[in-house]
């Protein structure tokens, strides 16, 4: 079934996010939501944690400008995808900082940004939602009303009413060096193709 082209609504959503000052600690930050996130018409949505200060917080492009971005580029290239084939967003759209360093978004900040993620889901109607790390999964849990825990569902497709959810690890250096090496994450990413092919 052909979906109506959602671009005008997405442009409005991006403008709303750019004006948002709901989170006091991030009121001076810029929301990363716009054409640089990828194709809003894609069937594949990635949900990560938040823009990093050397990455999207600086470049305005999700997963770019830092090692996490380099790793992500390698992972999607491994399965034959480009940024034009996917859409990437975050649980929190602005860069959370503490004393100049990245910090984990608070539960309240994830809640404040939840409406933007919900709107992206409604506009895209993706077939596959890939969460990268625990924070991305928490954001989807909030919308679905689920209680998935990363350790229990990592790499295991979860079938929801509207899309298949695939929780994966975040491609940050901390994760690839200590928890899930890039070679293993490439194996995980191949599951994205299996899901999309099985639903074709």
pLDDT higher than threshold 60 for residue 86: yes
Q: Does 1 reside within a domain?
A: no
CATH number at residue 28: 3.40.470.10
Please tell me which residue, 28 or 88, carries the higher pLDDT value: 88
pLDDT higher than threshold 50 for residue 1: no
How many other CB atoms are found less than 10 A from the CB of residue 21?
10
Q: Does 2 reside within a domain?
A: no
Q: Name the pTM for this structure.
A: 0.94
Q: Does 46 reside within a domain?
A: yes
Residue 161 belongs to domain spanning = 7-198
Q: Based on the structure, what is the number of domains in the chain?
A: 1
Mean pLDDT over 119-129 rounds to 96
Whether the CA torsion 178, 132, 96, 30 is positive or negative: it is positive
Q: What is the pLDDT of residues 93-103, one digit of tens each?
A: 999 988 888 89
pLDDT higher than threshold 70 for residue 17: yes
Half-sphere exposure of 71 (CA within 13 A, CB side): 22
Specify the range with the lowest mean pLDDT, choosing from 2-6, 12-16, 58-62, 114-118. 2-6
Averaged pLDDT of the chain: 93
pLDDT higher than threshold 70 for residue 4: no
Q: Does 70 reside within a domain?
A: yes
Please tell me which residue, 184 or 57, carries the higher pLDDT value: 184
Q: Does 45 reside within a domain?
A: yes
Alpha carbon distance 31, 108 (integer Å): 16
Mean pLDDT over 130-144 rounds to 97
Q: Does 99 reside within a domain?
A: yes
Whether the CA torsion 110, 76, 157, 66 is positive or negative: it is negative
Mean pLDDT over 81-93 rounds to 97
DSSP annotation of 25: G
Q: Does 180 reside within a domain?
A: yes
pLDDT higher than threshold 70 for residue 200: no
Q: 94 and 103 in contact (C-beta within 8 Å)? A: no
Q: Does 84 reside within a domain?
A: yes
pLDDT of residue 199: 67
Q: What is the pLDDT of residues 140-157, one digit of tens each?
A: 999 999 999 999 999 999
pLDDT higher than threshold 90 for residue 61: yes
């Amino acid at each position: 079934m052909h979906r109506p082209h959602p671009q005008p609504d997405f442009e409005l959503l991006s403008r709303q996010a750019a004006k948002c000052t709901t989170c006091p600690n991030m009121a001076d930050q810029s929301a990363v939501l716009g054409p640089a996130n990828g194709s809003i018409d894609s069937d594949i949505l990635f949900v990560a944690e938040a823009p990093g200060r050397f990455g999207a917080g600086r470049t305005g492009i999700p997963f770019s400008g830092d090692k996490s971005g380099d790793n992500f580029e390698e992972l999607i290239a491994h399965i034959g995808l480009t940024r034009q084939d996917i859409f990437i967003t975050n649980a929190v759209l602005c860069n959370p900082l503490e004393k100049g360093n990245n910090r984990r978004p608070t539960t309240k900040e994830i809640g404040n940004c939840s409406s933007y993620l919900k709107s992206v889901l409604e506009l895209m109607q993706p077939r596959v939602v890939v969460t990268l790390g625990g924070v991305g999964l928490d954001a989807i849990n909030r919308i679905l009303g689920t209680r998935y825990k990363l350790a229990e569902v990592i790499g295991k497709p979860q079938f929801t009413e509207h899309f298949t959810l695939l929780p994966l690890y975040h491609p940050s250096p901390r994760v690839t060096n200590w928890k899930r090496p890039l070679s293993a994450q490439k194996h995980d990413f191949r599951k994205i193709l299996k899901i999309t092919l099985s639903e074709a």
